Chain A
Amino acid sequence: MSKTTWVCIGTGGVGKTTVSAALAVTLARGGQRTLVATVDPARRLGDTLGLDRLVGPTAVPGHPGLQALAPDSSAGARALIEHLLVMAPSHRERIGGNALVAALTGGFAGMHELVALAELARVEPSFDVTVIDAAPSRHAIDVLALPARLAEVIDGRAIQWLGELARASLAPGRGFGARLLQTARHWIVRALASSIGSRPINDALGLLAFAADVRPQLSTWIAGASQLLAPARARIALVTTARHGAVDDVEQLVAQLAEVGHRPALVIVNRVPGPCPRVLADHPGLPASWREHVARAADELDVARAAARAIVARATMWGVPVIEIPSFPTHDPVAIVGDVANALSRGPWFHGGAETRPSAQNRLATR
């Protein structure tokens, strides 16, 4: 069986975390060893599965074959640096006193996705399928594009140039000729040091020199993350809700996905209410004081259902499988996950529908 990564994306508050958990439950029920993970520092994945801590892959009670993970970015970043220091021990002293490294590994929000992806790439080989609960909207797209942007630095000439700059600046005891060749670089470093300070510049240079020396390891790590999110392997579940304006959100996300070479494999319309035909408002048994409220309910439910229909029509036009999840009259996240999982497993996408990959995706994958 080929490996799959499902990435759930959507705007905030549409129920991405719930849908991610439910999707994972559904896949695990189908007999696949499933890992569900969040790459957003704020996500409440544990709450949806009734779990407290998700630092390492944690078995989800009641769901054989399902494990959940919410990587701890501080611990993960420190472990990563430690792992890299074993490869380049000469940097240990300088990295140990490096304020930039300390700040980056001390729970820096921007490091979270990097570390989460590294952790995922490390543990995912023991699973058949990984479900990623991504950060809201624009940021989710950034996560998808992250490995490529990192690769631009690490695999290209950039890291070599930066590494040489760092080495030359940190060890200036070279001959006059070598110094002359470095004039441009020294000029840049001097200009920065005079307006920012020499300590931050030295810390940055120390980190760059270190990164240049462990480039092969970083490269392998990025390749792992790349593979996890490559268009050939990742399936995007675009999550939305049945409300006015949702069609615009969906179209915008699809356009943003296209920019990074992805297209949705599944559209999930969450919280689609049932119809409330006017016969109820007109029913003689209804208390007279309720008529106005029921009529308002019917109007509002119509707006939501029309939004859901519009999204279904778009998805159908794009040739993307779409599934509607009803809204449930409860607020309990664990109960909703069970209900959503049941709704998902009834969809045709689950029974082979999503296995057929549209040809456009293959074309984009070769980009």
Chain B
Amino acid sequence: MSTVAAAGSQNLWFLSRGSGLVLLILFSAVIVLGVATRTGSAPRRWPRFAVAELHRTLSLFAVALLVLHVVTAILDPFVTIGWAAAVLPLASPYRTLAIGMGALAVDLSGAVLLTSVLRQRLGQRTWRAVHWLAYLAWPAAFIHSLTAGNDLGIWWVALAEVGSAAAAAAAVLARVFSRSRGEPPSGPPRPASAREVLRVR
């Protein structure tokens, strides 16, 4: 009986670790695609809507996988984390800070997800303000991946970590240095739109 239980516990552990690694790669891809959507810098042959839809689809898939990752980690009897630790950053008795980063990533991703689903209802300003939190969620998830897992010794895990970090960093730099679409060719700088400034109607 105990071997079965132990085997079950091992499966949960593998699932949690495996889903975690896939999540890191997925979220990094989502950031890259998000920046590509915003700056319109995908390969020319890719329709813009396809890039946008891929960003959306991958992020939804990532959220589903995130649920699996969190549930398997908490259900795993080998370590005691507790359900609250999934969303409250300092609630885990086991590796408090590392799990806490994960909880932070969950919270921020949850906010981004919720506002994106309700975007039409909430309006562009609110959606955009919350969406910026994605740039906080990724580092939180990354730090979590470095500190909460034990697999950095495996070469392809380390490679995935480095590759993900490089991709995300490149995306962020591209976003920072991209000219936003509308800069007039000459004349005075374009003022912010009245709508953004005034929160009109």
Chain A complexes with chain B: no
Chain A residues with CB under 8 Å of chain B are none
